[in-house]
Amino acid sequence: MSYQTETSEATRNEGKFFAMIICWLLGNGCLFSWNSMLTIEDYYVYLFPRYHPTRVLTLVYQPFALGTLAILAYNESKINTRKRNLAGYTLFFLSSLLLIVLDVATSGRGGIGVFIGICAISGAFGVADAHVQGGMVGDLFLMCPEFTQSFLAGLAASGVLTSALRLITKAAFENTQDGLRKGAMMFFAISAFFELLCVLLYAFIFPKLSIVKYYRSKAASEGSMTVAADLAAAGVQKQHDQGAEEDPKLLDRLSNKQLLSQNSDYAIDIFLIYVLTLSIFPGFLSEDTGSHSLGSWYALVLIAMYNVWDLIGRYVPLVKQLKLTPRKVLMVAIISRFLLIPAFYFTAKYGDQGWMIMLTSFLGLSNGYLTVCVLTAAPKGYKGPEQNALGNLLVVFLLGGIFSGVTLDWLWLIGKGW
């Protein structure tokens, strides 16, 4: 079987800008709920002062995300990508609603039982992230690099939006009774609404765009089986093509092991980027930066600055002259970032808040920039099924880096004696 598709340049580019906007929104939805949970860390620190909620919630989230994604990536070629992504966004929506229900049911009280419930929801966010982030990156690897860049920018934009909303709600409710809780409830409500929007966008709008149908039809003609449900939802009909069906080259693709061998440097790159970032953000920035004139606003400002510059960094590679493409140069730049570890340590110990804000901004800028450079370069030269598989494999290493960074942050905490 093959799929009908128009190959004219007009069809190929029709709706490209609108598709990029939807990719940006879907990227937002991939981390909006989780970033909302992180951004209200002051509320959770107030409720659970003895449990280090920022670090614990991150540590719970990551094993679920990494373990689920490893299973999904291993079975990627057999999985219906449409059902996978819709399941992820739906789980984000339901988990966000559950946070509201849990808080209302307990009247905003703390305690170990409530904290365990929040940790369980954090684990559900991890499972949802594994479905969506790996599924979407693999899906967009089949298409043009601008879609991948827009999705990755959306991931960062979710942090900027949640940080901005947190600063606004903190200012609005700071002097009111139960102000922290009101701000948190507003966050969860907005998060649930946004995740529902992502479900609707992915289910009914995105698959029907001409440019999306073109790239998915092209991937299907190259042997990809994961796009069949999305093409059916878009009304693209199969055409019988005996020659294509019998061509062994059509169904032949590199194995995951071969793909990983050819792209081991990219896998190491993405792993190292996030090992460093998550060993500093958000745990160190939330709890280990000392006392400063900004008071309770200080951690929120640092997290906001990281998110803003992370977003800016993801747009810098759009300027071709500023995009790093040589593989060895990328590796050197990524390894050089590890100089930030002693820089943060000595700044927290001896520097003032201005230097810490500058370092945090650079951490975010370099994280976003290098992520886009790696993930937009990797899929070039491969056909549809291989691009999808490679996208899933690289996201496994991305989440592996995050988990390792969080673990290092915990070891630092234990080493200081909590």
* Each residue's pLDDT tens digit, 217-236: 988 888 888 888 888 888 88
Three-class SS string for 232-273?
Answer: HHCCCCEECCHHHHHCHHHHCCCCHHHHHHHCHHHHHHHHHH
- Structure confidence at residue 180 (pLDDT): 79
In this structure, of 22-26, 106-110, 168-172, the range with the lowest mean pLDDT score is: 168-172
**76-111 confidence digits (pLDDT tens):** 888 999 999 999 999 999 999 999 999 999 988 888
The structure tokens 């199969």 sit at 238
Tell me the average pLDDT of the chain.
87
Contact 205, 22 (CB under 8 A): yes
**Average pLDDT in the 172-185 region?**
77
Residue-level pLDDT at 175: 67
Contact predicate 273/334, CB 8 Å: yes
Reply yes or no on whether the pLDDT at 360 is more than 60. Answer: yes
User: What value does the mean pLDDT take over residues 315-339?
Assistant: 95
Is residue 16 over pLDDT 60? yes
Contact by Cβ (8 Å): 117, 37: no
Query: What is the predicted pLDDT for the residue at 242?
Result: 43
Bridge partners, 239 (sequence order): 2
pLDDT in tens, 193-208: 999 999 999 999 999 9
Are the beta carbons of 176 and 194 closer than 8 angstroms?
A: no
Q: Over 60: is that where the pLDDT of 6 sits?
A: no
Peptide bond into 342 cis (omega under 30): no
Q: Mark 154-171 as b/e (b = at least 16 C-beta within 10 Å).
A: bbbbbbbbbbebbbebbe
Q: What is the Cα–Cα distance from 66 to 44, expressed in whole angstroms?
A: 24
Nearest to 396 by CA among 21, 169, 67: 67
pLDDT number for residue 244: 44
Tell me which residue of 324, 323, 337, 332 sits closest to 281, measured CA to CA.
337
Element (H, E) at 69: helix 53-74
On whether the pTM is more than 0.85, the answer is yes
Query: What would the two tokens of residue 271 be?
Result: 């792993």
Report in angstroms the alpha-carbon separations of 165 from 35, 36, 64, 298, 307.
11, 9, 27, 16, 13
Would the pLDDT of 51 be above 70?
A: yes
| pLDDT tens per residue across span 252-291 | 779 999 999 999 999 999 999 999 998 888 766 665 555 5
Output 281 or 346, whichever has higher pLDDT.
Answer: 346
pLDDT recorded at residue 325: 92
Q: Is the pLDDT of residue 311 over 90?
A: yes
Amino acid 235: pLDDT? 80
- State the number of CA atoms in the 13 A half-sphere of 335 facing the CB: 9
- Cα separation, 287 vs 94, whole angstroms: 30
Given a cut of 70, whether residue 2 has pLDDT beyond it is no
- Residue 374: half-sphere exposure toward Cβ, Cα within 13 Å: 32
Residue 249: predicted pLDDT? 55
Residue with tokens 């609404």: 193
Residue closest to 385 by CA, chosen among 222, 238, 248: 222
Better-scored residue on pLDDT, 325 or 349? 325
Residue 146, amino acid: E
Neighbours of 192 (CB within 10 A): 22
pLDDT band of 210, cuts 50, 70, 90: very high
Which residues, at least 6 apart from 380, have a Cβ–Cβ distance to it below 8 Å? none
Contact in structure between 140 and 24 (CB atoms under 8 Å):
no
For the stretch 139-159, pLDDT in tens is 999 999 999 999 999 999 998
